Structure 1
Amino acid sequence: MKAREPRHKVFVRARMNCAGTWQDITVQNVSKRGLLVRPAEAVPKRGDYVEVRRGALKIVARVVWSAGPLFGARTQDAIDIPALTAARAAPVTAPTEANSPVAERRERPRVEEIAARSQRRAAAFQHMVLLAGIVAVALVIGATLFDVVDRPFAAVRQAMAGNS
């Protein structure tokens, strides 16, 4: 069994975006690739992607469990623990065009959008392969039928050529 990553107890206030809604959170412990979080409002569901911000630090993670007022999230990239604990909390200000979550989403596609686009491409590729297979089978059947139908006509052509 794989050894569990060491946890660091912390009490770090930050902001979290889940499904376009920002809220205050407290990170209660952190490991190299995971966070234990207590949100101020709603706890996200398992499988949801969250964006945690503290100062200039941005962490994107996926919720792997939730129990009561807490949830655990796992990141793909390693978390810079000293930067998380040392960073000053970003002041809560009204979003401007430059720092708004909407403007940022326009810059980088969300994970869900990338996954949906990938699924559409995979489905299109499957349809193209299926269509190519159907065309190949139709060509083989057509060539076989042409050969079957052409044999009697070839015999008639040969017989007519021999009588002339």
Structure 2
Amino acid sequence: MLIPARMNTGPSWTEVVIHNLSSGGALLACDNAPNRGTYLEIRRGKQTIVGRVVWRKERFFGIQAQGRLDVAAIINEPRLASRPKSANDPGSAYERRSQSRMEADAQIARQLENSRRWSAAFQYGIFLVLALSAAGFAATEVYQLLSHPFLQVQSRL
């Protein structure tokens, strides 16, 4: 398949052609292919693919998508007649993330709280093990210290 699209790797948009598309990534080609590790945005009409370049050979490159791709929607999407909206456009409320910033921040906060709880429980467990070990050591030392005089008294009786 040869699907025309546009690619944004930073300050400008470039024409690209999608040669192969799967739910996890795509094979693309353009005149000035981005380097491996570059994060980019591909637009086909209103469909957006955000991903990272995982390989490059001459003008061809492969990307790994940030999320799962709807292959049928991308293939059947008509190409826009004008330049796509950018997040920097004034008055633009366009969200290109697969998850809104508020949802992502809430998920990070939940993960942080779960990590804090786990680390507090782990820390408490380590403290408990150390305290029990110290108490056991102290008990054996006191037993040995007191048992010697009592053994002497018992042997004399």
TM-score normalised by length of structure 1: 0.56
Given the alignment, which residue of 60, 64, 67 partners 2:50? 60
- What letter corresponds to residue 136 of structure 1 in structure 2? L
Distance 1:71 1:125 in 2: 43
Given the alignment, which residue of 92, 95, 98 partners 1:99? 92
Aligned to 1:89: 80
Considering only aligned residues, what root-mean-square deviation do their CA atoms show, in Å?
4.4
8 A Cα contact 2:6 2:42, kept in partner: yes
The percent identity for this pair of structures is 19
Where do 1:1-164 residues align within 5 Å? Answer: 9-16=1-8, 18=9, 20-33=10-23, 34-41=25-32, 43-46=34-37, 48-75=38-65, 76-81=67-72, 83-84=74-75, 86-89=77-80, 91-92=82-83, 95-99=88-92, 107-108=100-101, 128=120, 131-151=123-143, 152=145
Distance 1:68 1:117 in 2: 42
Gaps of 5+ in 2: 150-157
Gaps of 5+ in 1: 1-8, 157-164
Partner SS, residue 99 of structure 1: coil
Q: Compared with structure 1, are the counterparts of its residues 60 and 119 closer, same or farther at alpha carbon in structure 2 (3 Å cutoff)?
A: same
The number of equivalent residue pairs is: 140
